[in-house]
């Protein structure tokens, strides 16, 4: 019984600690925006058109090592789709912008590619499949300031409710044990 009271006293101090509350709040503030972004991943059905910011990698002229990202709607039959088996190239588009290309799966008839375009505010992740000359969008994800704002609000509410209920529960248990 004495050991349980010492555990409850320790828990009581932890749940009333502003440092612990702040640490959990910071952890939630970094985690929740990404979770909200992952929850909003758009998966496309066959034949469904992606949004305008769904980007596909095409070769940049004669240099096969460079690529550029163009919107899915601007791909034509004569577009030279970028397929590079070696390495993970990243190019700087501007001072705060970059583009990355990942070859996820490679077989003779099917290639799955993911492109990531980041600028100062937003990150667009497009995953698509290439079969011959056909490009089929698979998934699309956006991460931006809206996710950060939503995540911070959710983190503050979550931490407040977590500590509120822990305090009520631990205080109730400690009063019961003290009797």
**Measured CA angle at 145 (ends 53, 51), to 5 deg:** 15
Q: Are strands 134-143 and 42-43 parallel, antiparallel or unpaired?
A: antiparallel
Based on the domain organization, do 47 and 127 belong to the same domain? yes
Structural domain span for residue 18: 2-37+146-178
Cα-Cα-Cα-Cα dihedral sign, residues 61, 64, 70, 74: positive
Residue with tokens 């791909």: 75
Number of domains the chain is built from: 2
Low-confidence ranges of the chain (pLDDT < 50): none
Question: For the whole model, what pTM was predicted?
Answer: 0.72
**Do 111 and 96 form a contact (C-beta atoms < 8 A)?**
no
Predicted pLDDT at 126: 92
Residues 76 and 100: beta-carbon distance below 8 Å: no
Q: Using CB atoms within 10 Å of the CB of residue 56, give its burial: 0 to 12 exposed, 13 to 18 middle, 19+ buried.
A: buried
Same domain, 46 and 125: yes
Could you tell me if 124 and 93 lie in one domain?
A: yes
Q: What is the DSSP string of 126-158?
A: EEEEEETTEEEEEEEEEE-HHHHHHHHHHHHHH
**67 in the same domain as 31:** no
Question: 60 with 134, same domain?
Answer: yes
* CA–CA dist 42, 115 (Å, integer): 15
Residues 102 and 46 in one domain: yes
First to last CA, the chain: 12
* Residue 56 sits in the same domain as residue 9: no
- Same domain flag for 50 and 125: yes
Say if residue 21 is in the same domain as residue 86: no
């Amino acid at each position: 019984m004495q050991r349980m009271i010492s555990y409850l006293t320790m828990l009581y101090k932890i749940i009333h600690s502003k440092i612990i509350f702040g640490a959990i709040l910071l952890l939630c503030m970094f985690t929740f925006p990404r979770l909200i972004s992952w929850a909003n991943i758009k998966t496309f059905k066959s034949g469904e058109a992606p949004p305008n910011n769904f980007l596909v990698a095409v070769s940049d002229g004669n240099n096969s090592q460079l690529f550029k990202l163009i919107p899915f709607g601007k791909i034509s039959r004569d577009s030279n789709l970028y397929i590079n088996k070696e390495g993970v190239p990243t190019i700087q588009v501007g001072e705060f912008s970059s583009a990355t290309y990942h070859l996820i799966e490679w077989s003779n008839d099917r290639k799955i590619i993911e492109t990531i375009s980041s600028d100062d505010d937003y990150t667009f992740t497009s995953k698509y499949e290439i079969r011959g000359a056909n490009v089929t969008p698979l998934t699309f994800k956006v991460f931006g300031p809206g996710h950060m704002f939503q995540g911070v609000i959710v983190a503050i509410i979550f931490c407040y409710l977590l500590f509120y209920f822990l305090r009520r529960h631990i205080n109730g248990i400690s009063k019961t044990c003290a009797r």
